[in-house]
Chains A and B, each alone.
Chain A
């Protein structure tokens, strides 16, 4: 039963994280790809940091930030009446930061490749900014949105270090798949560990397989 709860919690965490990342990452990626200004390189570097930092570093600083005596932690406690550290909300915040580059970077690349000329053409045909976004950018970058969402979701599912640092191991609240797997191994329950590990392997493979197959098809269509 432990495993089922962990699986559901993981799916819930990954879904919420992906949704937030798509909503917040899209304008960020657009700004990074098309906007500019002095801040761009710094923001780009910050976004990419989780790619190279050991998750425990990120987790350590998030743990400090979420502590009840910290500014963020006490504000959270004041507003919501609950503790932030070792909560599901803390996991969501951590996951959003941790998976940010996996969503922003594919979108940024797609936005950068989208020819400006198509948007200019749409404008001369009478399409305003929102209209251009919905009628040209979204359909032309559709594959990249799918890729960004899949990568964000899958990466959140596979997260371990950050969760361990800021979530602890509370069943039903913060005990996600990778932690449950760790528990099983610690308890020498290799059979249960295998079920989770093999499941994660299969999930990752299928996700990437579907993504690449679609990508290759899309590539063929666009380059023709």
Chain B
């Protein structure tokens, strides 16, 4: 699932950059060579600046060192210009060439592709559904369509790594969903590593394998998404949309109820709809912390279908009215957001056994 196995290749970066008296980027990390790495953090934390440095659109200060594969992109003596780095970059504001049609924009990238191994225009057009747009000009496209073309254009330059800078920001919900589906398709079709900058946890949960959390120009945490999403200390867990990411296996269909039964650490979990799949495929689930409540004994007369036996692993410290709890479920973790009053009333402590009632589960793939 993650690319932690081959950390000696891929993209290494040590970037120092002072942009103003208040903001300074100071980062050292090695990005996974495969899959999608999400760079998450509040706006202004330096996510985009980091991508710009990696792309060569900004030059880091003297100590900066960026290496990709066997090449050095920047160190004390070397600075490789952006057009000589084999990257694809989809900007937040699309940046399509206004004097070229969609087909012209795509051809612009294809003509300058550094190698012929990348996807063809037909493939990219198919993945992102661009065929009907080819003769139009950028100003005739909706924002969502522009963004799709921009991603397609970046792919057609046959990049070795793809940078996506908040490609779904500024889009309405339906375009967001639509492009997200296209991006998931893309992930299945190509093995180009993707760096995905986003401040939206839902996107991150859907698309990323590896997570890099940034704050004030530095890295707060990095690791597999599932692990980090349950870290109570991280801002990721503190946000209102905090959710645990878990993986489960397909178990059986219950067609008479229109449900699919999954097996999550040996316990049954139902999701709506009939989604048959091979038992060996890990299905990724997202369970929001606010949709989880706890009982000390197994409820017999609850309408809630999904009730899982858990052990309290960690309780958020502090005197806030609502607390976040990390719940162990075999090798994985759930998050629950409860009122402090409930935690006290039930006498919940680290090690307590309890039953988690889950109101909603979203299947991410």
Contact = CB atoms under 8 A, between A and B. Distances in A.
A126 B93 CA distance: 19
Contact of B157 (A118, A125, A135): A125
A163 B112 CA distance: 50
Contacts of A126: 83, 86, 109, 112-114, 157
B250 interface: no
B130 interface: no
A71 B152 CA distance: 61
A125 B98 contact: no
A66 to B, nearest CB: 43
A48 interface: no
Contacts of B87: 124
A124 B139 contact: no
A117 B153 contact: no
Interface string A104-144: 00000000000101101111111110011001100110100
Given A121-B91, A124-B89, A125-B109, A222 B82 contact: no
Nearest to A123: B82
A224 interface: yes
A222 B86 CA distance: 31
Given A117-B91, A120-B57, A124-B57, A140 B98 contact: yes
Interface string B65-90: 00000000000000001111011110
B99 A139 contact: yes
B113 A117 contact: no
Interface string B152-165: 01100100000000
B55 interface: yes
Given A117-B91, A135-B108, A123 B98 contact: no
A117 B93 contact: yes
Nearest to B52: A120
Contact of B112 (A125, A221, A222): A125
B57 A222 contact: no
B23 interface: no
Contacts of A132: 83
B341 interface: no
A118 B153 contact: no
Contacts of B112: 125-127, 131
B81 A123 contact: yes
Contacts of A140: 97-99
Nearest to A136: B97
Contacts of A136: 97
A128 B98 CA distance: 19
Contacts, number: 69
A129 to B, nearest CB: 8
Nearest to B87: A124
B87 to A, nearest CB: 6
Interface residues of B, number: 27
Interface in A135-180: 135-136, 139-140, 142
A120 B82 contact: yes
Contacts of A139: 99
B89 A121 contact: yes
A224 B99 CA distance: 13
Interface-centre pick from B88, B99, B154 (highest chain A CB count, 10 A): B99
B55 A124 contact: yes
Interface string A36-60: 0000000000000000000000000
A115 B96 CA distance: 11
Given A124-B87, A127-B83, A118 B95 contact: yes
A127 B81 CA distance: 10
B82 A124 contact: yes
Nearest to B86: A126
A186 B56 CA distance: 66
B95 A121 contact: yes
A86 B70 CA distance: 65
B55 A222 contact: no
Nearest to A128: B83
Contacts of B109: 125-126
Nearest to A221: B139
B108 to A, nearest CB: 6
B153 A120 contact: no
Of listed A122, A124, A139, residue having the most chain B CB within 10 A: A124
B34 to A, nearest CB: 21
Contacts of A142: 99
Contacts of B97: 118, 121-122, 136, 140
Contacts of B84: 128
Contacts of B140: 224
Interface string A207-224: 000000000000001101
Contacts of A128: 81, 83-84
A120 B92 CA distance: 13
Interface of A: 115, 117-118, 120-128, 131-132, 135-136, 139-140, 142, 221-222, 224
6 contacts: A122-B83, A123-B83, A124-B83, A124-B89, A126-B86, A131-B83
Given A124-B82, A124-B83, A125-B109, 8 more contacts: A115-B95, A120-B89, A121-B97, A122-B108, A128-B84, A132-B83, A135-B108, A140-B97
Going nearest first, the 9 A-B pairs with the smallest beta carbon separation are A126-B112, A124-B89, A121-B95, A123-B82, A139-B99, A123-B83, A224-B139, A117-B95, A125-B109
